[in-house]
């Protein structure tokens, strides 16, 4: 177990290093001059040269790489060109909104995926309808889902807000977690909590749909396989109800492959969150990165890439370890 | 596949070995190629449709529809008009062509790069295999969408750069598949026979190992079309595609979100077009997958 942990930890460090190299390569090959971008297009040549020296871009590539590695391990991600704050501060400010959205979306995706997967296995008319719905769903881009939800629930029915994280006129709790629903609950502001949840519903559902389809498909495939095994026949011949067989006997053994996907789903959601935050004006990392793209704010873009990439790699490491803890058969790997 | 029983003596001679593998390869190849063609002709069909579609557009992609700006769908403008009085229906037809052809281009490039790397790794083995596959694993371990966004943002938003970014994150899957198939093929008797017959390594890869990977690669490619249509639309939606006024479905949808509440058709129509295209890709991919698997099982 310790050996597996160390192995995976080593692999994680290698991947993190690879990520750092990839981002560095991008910085070297970009067509725009970062020093020029920082001081503005009208600055005189001496100022640009000074900025270039300050940033270390006049050094040879290996020296630049060493400086860059030192910088990012200290958490220094340079200054954003459009907010003028250190990128690490910006990330800290925008991350809680994304974490909160991602958390609720993951809950919805899990529940929806589980439900749909069980419907599929049930077969019959319901199962067939669920199959068609799933195939169709997987083809709908997240931005279309989001827009349709806004049109229906905000514009037509007026039951849910279509943008932002909270109504502007509400006072927000000042910490302690930055996750507003948690803070509202801790400080006992239930009206605020209701408002926050109503803002969360549409973006969280939009973000959850594609992962839910992936979960349902994987769960269905592994349930089909498990349902053909001997111990299921034994359970049935004991006279257990089909529902008991499915939920108590089959589901537990079919859950493995679905849990394996958890890491991949995080990747899927990282891609989705950028689109969803843009549609719903959700003030998180996705919106930060889209705005940075619009401003050609390269330090902000690379900083966010490093942060999101590192988060993804670390989450996947823990998913791996959790699986090995849960399933002893994986420990020899 | 019916195994052709040959006396061992036969495969020790060059002619015998060649005949042996040719017999097997021929019978397997015919049914496989037939299945591939039958399974993939719908892809060609959709390609023809999207190529012809812009010719049927009542207006050019940047032409003004005289009906005026932000008009509701009507006989004069089937999907309405956008804020610059352009005909949404015509722009969607142009956008479909861009989306579909771009998806095919990324898949082709990804599959070629991945296949070359996978084939070399699988056939050469040793440290070459180790280096190439660890690099592949490294790419697979990084979050593809984030990496793609960073690549396009760095190179500057344009359709070409978006295609490059997607190819960069897409090839590793193909490298894995091809390497696996090549290793599997290398263990088969026909590859052994070819090696004993003294064929060169390049010829061994090209004629005896790689053909075995064709079917799985094509299955993956056909299943990937829908994924890429969606990935391209999403990147285009967040501003990483061809700059305006290009008719790109994701970007069209994104720019019209300002008018979503009053003129929803301007942003919904391109979104629906993406969904239709992705659905076509899914159906074709699933069908090809089933066909080729049935063919392989026979």
Are the CB atoms for A151 and B260 separated by under 8 Å?
Answer: yes
- Backbone phi and psi for residue A178, each to the nearest 5 degrees, phi listed first: 85, -20
How high is the pLDDT of residue B4? Answer: 40
Q: What is the distance between the alpha carbons of residues A27 and A152, in angstroms, rounded to a whole number? A: 43
Q: Does a structural domain hold residue A78?
A: no
Do A55 and A152 lie in a common domain?
no
Q: Do B282 and A139 touch (CB under 8 A)?
A: yes
Are the CB atoms for B298 and B50 separated by under 8 Å?
Answer: no
Q: Is A74 exposed, middle or buried (0-12, 13-18, 19+ CB in 10 A)?
A: exposed
How high is the pLDDT of residue B12? Answer: 37
How high is the pLDDT of residue A244? Answer: 82
More confident call, A143 vs B9:
A143
Nearest to A267 among B143, B149, B267 (CB): B143
Q: Is B123 exposed, middle or buried (0-12, 13-18, 19+ CB in 10 A)?
A: buried
Averaged pLDDT for residues B230-244: 87
How high is the pLDDT of residue B295? Answer: 64
Q: What is the pLDDT of residues B147-194, one digit of tens each?
A: 888 888 888 888 888 899 899 888 998 999 999 888 888 888 888 888
Question: Residue B9: which pLDDT band, with cuts at 50, 70 and 90?
Answer: very low
- Across the A:B interface, residue pairs with CB atoms under 8 Å apart total 146
Do A113 and A197 lie in a common domain?
yes
Q: Which of B103, B133, B134, B153 to mutate to test the interface with A (most CBs of A within 10 A)?
A: B153
Residue A42's region, left for phi above 0, alpha for psi from -120 to 50, else beta, is alpha
Q: Does a structural domain hold residue A83?
A: no
Q: Is B76 helix (H, G, I), strand (E, B) or coil?
A: coil
Whole-complex ipTM: 0.85
Are the CB atoms for B170 and B148 separated by under 8 Å?
Answer: no
CA distance B145 to chain A (A): 5
Q: Do B147 and A143 touch (CB under 8 A)?
A: no
Do A125 and A257 lie in a common domain?
yes
Q: Measured between CB atoms, does A305 come within 8 Å of chain B?
A: yes
Q: Is B276 helix (H, G, I), strand (E, B) or coil?
A: helix
- Which of A24, A42, A73 is the C-terminal boundary of a domain? A73
pLDDT at B21 over 70: no
pLDDT at B2 over 50: no
Are the CB atoms for B179 and B121 separated by under 8 Å?
Answer: yes
Q: What is the CA radius of gyration of chain B?
A: 24
Q: What is the distance between the alpha carbons of residues A289 and B124, in angstroms, rounded to a whole number? A: 42
Q: What is the distance between the alpha carbons of residues A307 and A93, in angstroms, rounded to a whole number? A: 13
> Which residues face B87 on adjacent strands?
B81
Which residues in chain A (3-62) have CB-CB distances under 8 A to chain B?
11, 14-15, 18-19, 22-23, 26-27, 29-32
DSSP state of A229: S
Do A303 and A168 lie in a common domain?
yes
Are the CB atoms for B271 and A146 separated by under 8 Å?
Answer: no
Q: Does a structural domain hold residue B22?
A: no
Residues of B in contact with A142 (CB under 8 A): 234
How high is the pLDDT of residue A124? Answer: 79
- Residues 6+ away with beta carbon under 8 Å from B296: B32, B215
Do A322 and A250 lie in a common domain?
yes
Structure tokens at A8: 């995976």
Residue corresponding to tokens 């052709």: B4
Q: Do A292 and B153 touch (CB under 8 A)?
A: yes
Residues of B in contact with A270 (CB under 8 A): 143, 145-146
Structure tokens at B139: 């790419």
Q: Does a structural domain hold residue A283?
A: yes
> Which residues face A178 on adjacent strands?
none
Residues of B in contact with A266 (CB under 8 A): 143
Are the CB atoms for A12 and A313 separated by under 8 Å?
Answer: yes
H/E segment holding residue A149: helix A142-149
Q: Does a structural domain hold residue A131?
A: yes
CATH number of the domain bearing residue B185: 1.10.3720.10
CA distance A22 to chain B (A): 9
Do A64 and A113 lie in a common domain?
no
Q: Which of A12, A141, A163 to mutate to test the interface with B (most CBs of B within 10 A)?
A: A141
Residues of B with CB under 8 A from a CB of A: 138, 141-147, 149-151, 153-157, 226, 230-231, 233-234, 237-240, 250, 253-254, 257, 260-261, 264, 267-268, 271-272, 274-276, 278-279, 281-283, 286
Q: Which of B144, B154, B233 to mutate to test the interface with A (most CBs of A within 10 A)?
A: B154
Helix-strand-coil percent breakdown of chain B, rounded to 5? 75, 0, 20
Are the CB atoms for B146 and A309 separated by under 8 Å?
Answer: yes
Q: Is A86 helix (H, G, I), strand (E, B) or coil?
A: strand
Q: Which of B64, B146, B59 is nearest to A23 (CA)?
A: B146
Q: Does a structural domain hold residue B18?
A: no
Q: Does a structural domain hold residue A206?
A: yes
CA distance A246 to chain B (A): 27
Q: Does a structural domain hold residue B141?
A: yes
Do A259 and A285 lie in a common domain?
yes
What domain range is B115 assigned to?
Answer: 86-297
What domain range is A39 assigned to?
Answer: 9-73
Do A205 and A275 lie in a common domain?
yes
Q: Point out the residues of chain A with pLDDT beneath 50.
A: 333
Which residues in chain A (307-326) have CB-CB distances under 8 A to chain B?
308-309, 312-313, 316
- How distant, in Å, are the alpha carbons of A48, A153, A198, A213, B164 from that of A158? 53, 6, 12, 28, 43
H/E segment holding residue B139: helix B126-141
How high is the pLDDT of residue A5? Answer: 85
Which residues in chain A (272-291) have CB-CB distances under 8 A to chain B?
272, 274-275, 278-279, 289-290
Q: Measured between CB atoms, does A139 come within 8 Å of chain B?
A: yes
CA distance B210 to chain A (A): 29
Q: Do B233 and A147 touch (CB under 8 A)?
A: no
Are the CB atoms for B80 and B72 separated by under 8 Å?
Answer: yes
How high is the pLDDT of residue B248? Answer: 87
Do A95 and A40 lie in a common domain?
no
Q: Is A80 helix (H, G, I), strand (E, B) or coil?
A: coil
pLDDT at B20 over 60: no
What is the domain count for chain A? Answer: 2
Do A145 and A229 lie in a common domain?
yes
Do A255 and A114 lie in a common domain?
yes
What is the domain count for chain B? Answer: 1
Q: Do A135 and B264 touch (CB under 8 A)?
A: no
CATH number of the domain bearing residue A328: 1.10.3720.10
Do A62 and A98 lie in a common domain?
no
Question: Residue B5: which pLDDT band, with cuts at 50, 70 and 90?
Answer: very low
pLDDT at B61 over 90: no
How high is the pLDDT of residue B273? Answer: 92
Residues of A in contact with B261 (CB under 8 A): 150-151, 154-155
Residue corresponding to tokens 């020790």: B12
């Amino acid at each position: 177990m310790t050996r597996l942990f160390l192995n995976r930890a080593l692999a994680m460090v290698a991947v993190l290093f690879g990520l750092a190299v990839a981002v560095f390569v991008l910085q070297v090959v970009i067509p725009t001059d970062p020093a020029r971008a920082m001081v503005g297009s009208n600055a005189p040549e001496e100022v640009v040269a000074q900025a270039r020296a300050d940033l270390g871009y006049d050094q040879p590539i290996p020296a630049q790489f060493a400086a860059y590695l030192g910088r990012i391990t200290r958490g220094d991600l340079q200054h954003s060109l459009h907010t003028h704050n250190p990128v690490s501060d910006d990330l800290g400010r925008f991350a809680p909104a994304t974490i909160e959205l991602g958390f609720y979306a993951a809950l919805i995706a899990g529940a929806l995926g589980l439900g749909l997967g069980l419907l599929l296995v049930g077969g019959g008319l319901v199962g067939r309808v669920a199959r068609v719905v799933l195939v169709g769903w997987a083809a709908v881009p997240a931005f279309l889902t989001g827009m349709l939800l806004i049109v229906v629930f905000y514009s037509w029915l007026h039951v849910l807000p279509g943008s932002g994280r909270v109504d502007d006129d509400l006072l927000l709790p000042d910490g302690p977690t930055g996750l507003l629903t948690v803070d509202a609950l801790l400080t006992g502001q239930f009206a605020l909590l209701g408002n926050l949840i109503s803002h969360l519903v549409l973006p969280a559902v939009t973000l959850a749909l594609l992962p839910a389809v992936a979960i349902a498909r994987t769960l269905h495939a592994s349930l089909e396989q498990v349902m053909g095994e001997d111990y299921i026949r034994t359970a049935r011949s004991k006279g257990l109800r089909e529902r008991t067989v499915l939920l108590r006997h089959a589901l537990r053994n079919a859950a493995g492959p679905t849990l394996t996907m958890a890491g991949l789903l995080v990747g899927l959601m990282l891609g989705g969150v950028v689109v969803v935050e843009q549609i719903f004006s959700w003030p998180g990392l996705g919106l930060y990165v889209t705005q940075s793209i619009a401003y050609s704010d390269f330090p902000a873009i690379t900083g966010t890439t490093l942060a999101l990439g590192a988060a993804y790699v670390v989450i996947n490491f823990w998913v791996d370890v959790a699986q090995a803890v849960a399933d002893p058969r994986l420990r020899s790997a | 596949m019916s195994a052709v029983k040959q006396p061992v003596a036969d495969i020790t001679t060059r002619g015998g070995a060649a005949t042996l593998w040719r017999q097997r390869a021929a019978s397997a190849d015919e049914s496989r190629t037939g299945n591939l063609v039958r399974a993939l002709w719908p892809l060609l069909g959709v390609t023809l449709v999207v190529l012809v579609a812009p010719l049927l557009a009542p207006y050019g992609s940047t032409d003004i529809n005289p009906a005026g700006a932000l008009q509701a769908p009507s006989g004069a403008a089937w999907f309405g008009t956008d804020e610059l009085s352009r005909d949404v229906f015509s722009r969607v037809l142009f956008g479909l062509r861009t989306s579909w052809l771009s998806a095919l281009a990324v898949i082709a490039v990804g599959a070629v790069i991945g296949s070359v790397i996978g084939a070399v790794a699988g056939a050469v083995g040793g440290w070459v295999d180790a280096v190439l596959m660890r690099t592949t694993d490294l790419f697979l371990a990084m979050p593809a969408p984030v990496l793609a966004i960073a690549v396009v943002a760095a190179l500057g938003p344009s359709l070409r750069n978006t295609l490059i970014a997607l190819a960069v994150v897409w090839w590793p899957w193909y490298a894995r598949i091809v390497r696996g198939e090549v290793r599997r093929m290398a263990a088969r008797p026909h590859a052994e026979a070819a090696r004993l017959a003294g064929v060169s390594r390049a010829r061994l890869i090209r004629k005896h190992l790689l053909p075995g990977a064709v079917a799985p690669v094509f299955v993956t490619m056909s299943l990937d079309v829908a994924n890429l249509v969606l990935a391209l639309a999403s990147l285009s939606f967040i501003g990483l595609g061809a700059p305006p006024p290009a008719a790109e479905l994701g970007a069209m949808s994104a720019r019209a979100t300002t008018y979503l509440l009053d003129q929803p058709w301007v942003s919904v129509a391109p979104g629906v077009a993406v969904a239709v295209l992705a659905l076509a890709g899914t159906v074709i991919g699933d069908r090809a997958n089933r066909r080729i698997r049935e063919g392989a099982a026979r």
